[in-house]
């Protein structure tokens, strides 16, 4: 299949700093192309991705040589069919809309109120660093069950894994930092498990244990949730707050 595809070469350093010019060129000239420098086929049009991602016999989520699998373990995002569905069902009790409404919402509000109370006497704060970052991290700590992790460490390990999984140019310092972050998560998971065996709750760690998932499955899925569960809510919280403050009318 790859022999029939157009070949598109990139400058990896330039692509790392700003991929959008190359992606724009690809969309207009070769929307499905082999990029040797990445060792990957890039599909750059939204409608094509929507169509082809469902063809798991060709575009499988199972990527044993991919950076996410190598650095974080094989989480449910890197599985297809029944293997994916089984783990998705296992975590659903922790993340269903009803559980968020009835269980997590009040915890999120309480944690946010504490952060705002701490910021109020200062009179000013950085919207991302001082507000959105700890709010997002405290929500993630509660929902994952990693209550033994400080919010700054949650932010650090999340960013470290994101950097590692996008480290296509093979920077050794980025890889080492990612390994350090995943090791920190592993330690925190192992430290929390005894308490959750004795007193199960609705957290992501606990429901996976209750469902009988293996240690590798539990660790990999928690790393998946942490990797995207900090930066994306953080940016959404900051962006929404900025929009309200600047467009109050």
Q: Are 238 and 226 a contacting pair, CB within 8 Å? A: no
pTM for this structure? 0.82
Residues 230 and 132 in one domain: yes
Higher pLDDT, 78 or 45: 45
Residue the block writes with tokens 């094509």? 48
Domain range for 127 is 76-246
Q: Give the C-alpha separation, 194 to 46, whole Å.
A: 45
Q: What band does 3 get if pLDDT is binned at 50, 70 and 90? A: low
Q: What band does 70 get if pLDDT is binned at 50, 70 and 90? A: confident
Residues 216 and 94 in one domain: yes
* Ranges 20-24, 169-173, 222-226, 233-237: which has the least confidence: 169-173
pLDDT at 2 over 60: no
Residues 108 and 230 in one domain: yes
In a domain, 70, yes or no: no
Residues 107 and 225 in one domain: yes
Q: Which two tokens stand for residue 6?
A: 């157009």
Coil, helix or strand for 14? helix
pLDDT in tens, 145-190: 999 999 999 999 999 999 998 888 889 999 999 999 999 999 999 9
Coil, helix or strand for 42? strand
Instruction: For residue 173, give every residue at least 6 positions away whose Cβ sits within 8 Å of its Cβ, in sequence order, or none.
Output: none
In a domain, 65, yes or no: no
In a domain, 124, yes or no: yes
The proportion of the chain whose per-residue pLDDT surpasses 70, expressed as a percent, equals: 98
Residues 116 and 219 in one domain: yes
Segments in 2-80 forming alpha helices (H): 12-17, 20-29, 46-52, 67-72
Residues 44 and 83 in one domain: no
Neighbours of 62 (CB within 10 A): 14
Tell me which H or E stretch contains 217: helix 215-229
Q: Mean pLDDT over all residues of the chain?
A: 92
Q: Which two tokens stand for residue 137?
A: 């991290």
Helices (H) and strands (E) in the chain, counts: 13, 2
The mean per-residue pLDDT over the stretch 32-42 comes to 90
The domain that contains 167 carries what CATH number? 1.10.630.10
The mean per-residue pLDDT over the stretch 33-54 comes to 90
In a domain, 166, yes or no: yes
CA distances from 206 to 8, 37, 140, 212, 248 (A): 46, 41, 14, 10, 41
Residues 206 and 241 in one domain: yes
Higher pLDDT, 111 or 80: 111
pLDDT at 1 over 60: no
In a domain, 190, yes or no: yes
Last residue of a domain, one of 29, 59, 89: 59
Residues 94 and 43 in one domain: no
pLDDT in tens, 192-208: 999 999 999 999 999 99
* Ranges 35-44, 67-76, 90-99: which has the least confidence: 67-76
In a domain, 32, yes or no: yes
How many domains would you assign to the chain?
Answer: 2
pLDDT at 235 over 80: yes
Residues 83 and 172 in one domain: yes
Q: Which two tokens stand for residue 219?
A: 């660790």
What does the pLDDT read at residue 20? Answer: 95
């Amino acid at each position: 299949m790859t022999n029939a595809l157009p070949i598109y070469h990139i400058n990896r350093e330039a692509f790392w700093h700003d991929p959008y010019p190359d992606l724009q060129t690809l969309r207009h000239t070769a929307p499905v192309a082999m990029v040797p420098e990445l060792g990957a086929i890039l599909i750059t049009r939204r409608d094509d991705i929507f169509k082809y991602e469902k063809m798991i016999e060709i575009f499988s989520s199972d990527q044993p040589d991919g950076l996410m699998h190598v650095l974080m373990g094989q989480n449910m995002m890197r599985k297809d069919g029944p293997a994916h569905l089984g783990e998705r069902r296992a975590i659903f009790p922790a993340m269903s809309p009803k559980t968020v409404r009835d269980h997590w919402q009040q915890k999120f509000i309480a944690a946010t109120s504490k952060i705002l109370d701490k910021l109020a006497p200062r009179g000013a704060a950085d919207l991302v660093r001082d507000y959105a970052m700890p709010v997002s991290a405290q929500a993630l700590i509660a929902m994952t069950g990693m209550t033994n992790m400080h919010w700054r460490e949650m932010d650090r390990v999340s960013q470290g894994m994101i950097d590692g999984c996008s480290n296509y140019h093979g920077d050794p310092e980025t890889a080492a930092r990612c390994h350090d972050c995943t090791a920190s998560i592993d330690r925190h998971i192992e430290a929390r498990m005894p308490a959750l065996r004795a007193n199960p709750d609705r957290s992501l760690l606990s429901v996976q244990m209750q469902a009988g998932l293996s240690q590798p499955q539990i660790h990999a899925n928690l790393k998946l949730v942490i990797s995207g569960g900090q930066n994306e809510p953080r940016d959404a919280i900051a962006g929404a707050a900025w929009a309200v403050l600047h467009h109050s009318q």
